[in-house]
Amino acid sequence: MKMMENVVWHKQKVSKKDKENLLKQNPFVLWFTGLSGSGKSTIAMELEKHLWEKGKYAILLDGDNVRHGLCSDLGFSVADRQENLRRIRETAKLFYDNAAITIVSFISPFKQDRDLARDLIGKDFIEIYISCNIQTCEARDPKGLYKKARNGEIKDFTGIDQGYEEPKAPEISINSGSTPVEAAVGKIINYLETKKYI
């Protein structure tokens, strides 16, 4: 790419390790994936609060919130979803490189995009699959999106007219249809403590 020929990476004077020592934490990326209405954002927000109460600095990148700014120019076609997630994984990597615990909550329906995020972050990438059958998601329908998709008002809606590729081996899997939010957060915290992330 010609434009990149004139772009030079600047090595910073304050290292990632320096920032880890300042914040007294090990950074990692928690990547939530699941259908709309599965409970990703609800669990992610409670997790962020729990980590904050434990004195940990965490940043939450939520799908809807990010689309209000960074990705407001994108739609929901396959190409736009892939660009959306490219921007998010690069943003998550920037936060991770600056010692932040980064929580990412996106439908991220395609395995390829999640694999690219894992490859970019490396060993500190933790995939969390919030599983929930579509009937339960549709019954919850907190934003009224399933109804709009069924009525043809929304195109390329995951679970209705666009597929979702379930993770085959996520680090953490939570069935939100049968697991209360507090228990879901507890399961994630237990994993992080067991693996010595926190």
pLDDT over 60 at 1, yes or no: no
Task: Give the span between the Cα atoms of 109 and 82, in whole angstroms.
Answer: 10
**SS3 label, residue 135:** helix
Give a yes or no: residue 89 inside a domain: yes
User: pTM for this one?
Assistant: 0.91
pLDDT-derived band at 122 (thresholds 50, 70, 90) equals very high
Give a yes or no: residue 136 inside a domain: yes
Give a yes or no: residue 155 inside a domain: yes
Mean pLDDT of 108-133: 96
Please give the structure tokens belonging to residue 142: 């907190």
Give a yes or no: residue 167 inside a domain: yes
Give a yes or no: residue 3 inside a domain: no
| pLDDT at 71 (0 to 100) | 87
Q: How many domains does the chain have?
A: 1
DSSP H helical ranges for 54-132? 63-67, 78-97, 111-121
Q: Domain holding 174: CATH number?
A: 3.40.50.300
Q: Which residue range is the domain that position 176 belongs to?
A: 29-194
Give a yes or no: residue 12 inside a domain: no
Mean pLDDT of 108-119: 95
pLDDT in tens, 24-74: 999 999 999 999 999 999 999 999 999 999 999 999 999 889 888 888 898
Catalytic residues: 108
